[in-house]
Amino acid sequence: MDKKVICSNRKAFHDFIIFDKYEAGIVLTGTEIKSIRKGAVNLKDSFCKVEDNEVFLYKCHISPYEQGNRFNHEAERTRKLLLTKREILKIQNKVKQSGYTIVPLEIYLQRGFAKMQICLAKGKKLHDKRDSIAAKDQKREMERASKNRY
């Protein structure tokens, strides 16, 4: 399917070890979808929680729509995510037992609907971050060396 990525959470790949990924719909108001289509979204500090067998998104900043007048939305309100019951139960069990967190990775438009990719992740320790940075640097050096050889 063709999808247009609006916003991605690059910091999540640095701070977390990513495991399972899920696609979720987002319950939005009229002015929120207009702001998303415009690209006025920030996932930097956002996170998800499972409450009463429903998944909610917290601290996702969607800027108010400029022509929204009095019908505008609150920028960082809590939004419900749409997942199947089986997916929610699977996520809930992993979060309770294994200490995973639910991290939003990206928001994109697919066939006119706003979707979000969320994942189960575990936080990286400082030495893990250093290892991943060193591995990236090593890979970059190898690519440079192979380009210069030819």
pLDDT in tens, the chain (150 residues): 688 999 999 888 888 889 999 999 999 988 888 889 999 999 988 999 999 999 999 999 998 888 877 778 888 889 999 999 999 999 999 999 888 999 999 999 999 899 999 999 998 887 777 888 888 899 999 988 888 766
| Both structure tokens of 81 | 């995510």
**pLDDT given for residue 123 in this prediction:** 86
The pTM assigned to this predicted structure is 0.81
**pLDDT given for residue 14 in this prediction:** 85
Count of CB atoms situated within 10 Å of the CB of 96: 10
**pLDDT given for residue 1 in this prediction:** 61
Q: How far apart, in Å, are the Cα atoms of 109 and each of 38, 143, 149?
A: 11, 33, 42
Third-level CATH fold of 4-124: Small Protein B; Chain: A; (2.40.280)
**pLDDT given for residue 133 in this prediction:** 86
* Contact (Cβ atoms closer than 8 angstroms) between residue 23 and residue 115: yes
Distance CA 150, CA 148 (A): 6
| Both structure tokens of 55 | 């998944």
